[in-house]
Amino acid sequence: MDSVGVAAAAPDAGPGPAWQSKCPWGAPSTTSISCSLADVMSEQLAKELQLEEENAVFPEVVAAAEGPFITGENIDTSSDLMLAQMLQMEFDREYDAQLRREEKKINGDSKVSISFENYRKVHPYDSDSSEDEVDWQDTRHDPYRADKPTTTPRRGFIGKGKDITTKHDEVVCGRKNTARMENFAPEFQVGDGIGMDLKLSNQVFNALKQHAYSEERRSARLHEKKEHSTAEKAVDPKTRLLLYKMVNSGMLETITGCISTGKESVVFHAYGGNSATEDKVIPPECAIKVFKTTLNEFKNRDKYIKDDYRFKDRFSKLNPRKIIRMWAEKEMHNLTRMQNAGIPCPQVVILKKHVLVMSFIGQDQIPAPKLKDVTLSSEDMKKAYYQILNMMQQLYRECNLVHADLSEYNMLWHDGKVWLIDVSQSVEPTHPHGLEFLFRDCRNVSQFFQKGGVAEALNERELFNAVSGLNITADNEVDFQAEIEALEKMNEDHVQNHGKKLSTFSSDGDPPIYDE
């Protein structure tokens, strides 16, 4: 079955597909009260977290296949890579434990003691294995952004005559990589081979090299108390561990690489595993959305979530990291609602903290193109338009949602139809700004299709009325928006007076369903 089949089959599958029924991660915990909303929004806290975050950045490579390093062909080492990284972390921990023992031995009962702190490999923040771990990333130097690839030698071989070594000679290459580890920074402990014939695959070597470099820079940074973190791609170690567990449990087969690095998330492609013990089916191809946990993005987004009554009670009780997880949770819930209404969208596989696994829209690792990137025939363009009009109505009426970031950037063209993605910011229409968000969505959609030559495309005001079922008559944008805001205010007043929202804005019947 292909990914389309999996996603499309779902609406018939009742409340949820079989593979959703059992959650190997257990129920999400909602404990821990660590700060108030005021704290969360405070500049002081922001600064502290920023500082903490800078000290905690410890980025690593997940999608090493993308790296500007040597590559080998047909070597499937994706799980080796994870393992090697885990082992390296273990090794670092042991190394530090040994340091501590030596420190203790030297210091004994003496009043004056020396510290090996600066020689440690695993820095204090990383060794904290509590539930509330690092999520914060430096926002100025984005560790998720892929580095510009450096050039690799074109000819792909070295040596002469019969001593020629091509980059594809796995065994020789492996030994070379092992030898090259010695070139890492002197304080980077690579261990010795104890006479063993060690062969490292290119991918593992690259990952370790990356690790060595980042550790080197990280240590330098800590010691010099530099302000800036290095620009690295990939995710923090805790996220890596989550991904590793997903592969290790058999839920995912392999994580092949990164599809997208956006401001707010990184998306990876993975092949679904066949966790045979669970009575659930994982889609053959999955997309893994890792929510980036930058303070800045979070601050920009609070207006979406803090007024969403579904999350209201919890907002004030959560620490900032948990609010990031809430974005992922919101996307999961919204996707599920859409799935139940039969709207083409990714199907949720599992949510773990700030990592959401869903079905992949696309095929053979190639994601479906965004609407903005695809050239459609005028016939398909018209078809797409009517489909979107329909989906917006369904979203509003059946899912009780407004997308709130709808545009040609968040619609994929796959299998001859439009798929909606990116719904973590979606809100209910009665959200204090819900109608404004809807109007913005309508404007994007109208403009896109009017420019795209769909003569039938309604203008943004007509589209707004068609989706919401409201009958705002203003014939210009300014007045129209004023009426929208008046309606929102009316709803807010109703909340003040009655302690609850209007169930819906519409009193003049259902909106007409537009069909071709």
Residues labelled catalytic? 405
Q: Is 272 in the site for ligand ADP (CB under 6 A)?
A: no
Segment interacting with ligand ADP (CB under 6 A) among 110-118, 256-264, 321-329, 501-509: 256-264
| Cβ–Cβ < 8 Å for 210, 61 | yes
Q: Is 17 in the site for ligand ADP (CB under 6 A)?
A: no
| Cβ–Cβ < 8 Å for 234, 145 | no
Q: Which of 360, 437, 439, 449 binds ligand ADP (CB under 6 A)?
A: 360
List of residues 6+ apart from 189 with CB closer than 8 A: 91, 92, 95, 121
Q: Which does 470 bind (CB under 5 to 8 A by kind): Mn ion, ligand ADP, none?
A: none
Q: Which of 272, 367, 434, 511 binds ligand ADP (CB under 6 A)?
A: 367
Q: Where are the alpha helices (DSSP H) in 108-250?
A: 124-127, 170-180, 202-224, 237-248
Q: Shortest gap between Cβ of 13 and ligand ADP (angstroms)?
A: 18
Rounded to 5 degrees, what angle do the CA atoms 209, 215, 221 make? 140
Q: Which of 422, 441, 460, 488 binds ligand ADP (CB under 6 A)?
A: 422
Q: Which of 215, 264, 278, 329 binds ligand ADP (CB under 6 A)?
A: 264
Query: Of 409 and 514, which has the nearer Cβ to Mn ion?
Result: 409
Please name the helix (run of DSSP H) or strand (run of DSSP E) that holds residue 254, with its range, or none: strand 252-261
Q: Is 289 in the site for ligand ADP (CB under 6 A)?
A: yes
The beta-strand segments (E) located in 353-410 are 355-359, 362-363, 366-367
Rounded to 5 degrees, what angle do the CA atoms 393, 285, 342 make? 20
| Cβ–Cβ < 8 Å for 281, 2 | no
Direct distance between the N- and C-terminal alpha carbons of the chain, in angstroms, rounded to an integer: 30
Helix, coil or strand: residue 230: coil
Segment interacting with ligand ADP (CB under 6 A) among 33-41, 257-265, 441-449, 471-479: 257-265
Q: Where are the alpha helices (DSSP H) in 225-319?
A: 237-248, 295-306, 309-315
Query: Of 3 and 201, which has the nearer Cβ to ligand ADP?
Result: 3
How many residues make contact with ligand ADP (CB under 6 A)? Answer: 18
Q: Which of 54, 215, 422, 488 binds Mn ion (CB under 5 A)?
A: 422
The residues pairing with 356 across neighbouring beta strands, listed in sequence order, are: 289, 351
Segment interacting with Mn ion (CB under 5 A) among 172-180, 331-339, 422-430, 496-504: 422-430
Query: Of 230 and 363, which has the nearer Cβ to ligand ADP?
Result: 363
DSSP secondary structure code for residue 12 in this structure: G
Q: Is 413 in the site for ligand ADP (CB under 6 A)?
A: no
Query: Of 85 and 410, which has the nearer Cβ to Mn ion?
Result: 410
Residue with tokens 């993605």: 421
Q: Is 410 in the site for ligand ADP (CB under 6 A)?
A: yes
Q: Where are the alpha helices (DSSP H) in 281-359?
A: 295-306, 309-315, 320-340
Q: How far is CA 181 from CA 113, 122, 198, 209, in A?
A: 34, 19, 11, 7
Both structure tokens of 111: 């009043």
Q: Is 426 in the site for Mn ion (CB under 5 A)?
A: no
Query: Of 348 and 467, which has the nearer Cβ to ligand ADP?
Result: 348
Q: Is 346 in the site for ligand ADP (CB under 6 A)?
A: yes
Segment interacting with ligand ADP (CB under 6 A) among 80-88, 248-256, 355-363, 502-510: 355-363
Chain residues that interact with Mn ion, rule: CB under 5 A: 410, 422
Chain residues that interact with ligand ADP, rule: CB under 6 A: 259-260, 262, 264-265, 267, 287, 289, 346, 358, 360-362, 367, 370, 410, 421-422
